Amino acid sequence: MKNNKDKKQEQKNKLSESEVEGFIKKIQTKEELLNVPRTLLKKEEWGLLTILNLILVGIFPAYFVNILLISFFTELGHLWTTHLSERGRKILIDFEKEFRIGYEKEKIGDFKGAVSIYEKLVVKYKDNPKIAGIAVERINWIEKKKIK
């Protein structure tokens, strides 16, 4: 047997038929508002790039737009590949400072001193082969041209 509290709770939970019908009508009117007839803009996915392209084609000839896009993506790729991280930039700046000391020794004619500095750079920057390669090339150049 159900006690009085349960019976009262069931009566609270039950909705009258008029409340249910009102709720259904509310849902139907919301659906009608949402079901806007599809236009060209509604049935197609129009991205910003598509709209920009249409505007550009209206202003410029098609070949010019293609040249602009090719140039843009080429430069974007160039920026991407030449980007250095902060750590990489610091390593390069440190290398340049030390390399300059060897170069100054070359200027005054102390080629053996310059080679010793460049050799230290090769050992120090062995983890960065491109940077160490600069010092190796300079050592080879000095040995071929200056030191006999």
Q: Which residues lie closer than 8 Å to 60 by C-beta, 6 or more apart?
A: 68
Structure confidence at residue 15 (pLDDT): 65
- 73-82 b/e with 16+ CB inside 10 Å = b? eeeeeeeeee
What are the CB-based long-range contacts (under 8 Å, 24+) for 81-89?
none
Average pLDDT over residues 139-145: 88
Structure confidence at residue 32 (pLDDT): 59
Q: Give the model confidence (pLDDT) of 64-109 as tens digits.
A: 878 888 888 888 877 777 666 677 788 889 999 999 999 999 899 8
Structure confidence at residue 37 (pLDDT): 56
Q: Give the model confidence (pLDDT) of 110-125 as tens digits.
A: 888 999 999 999 999 9
- Opening angle at CA 53, ends 47 and 54, nearest 5: 95
Both tokens of residue 33?
Answer: 């508002």
pTM of the model: 0.44
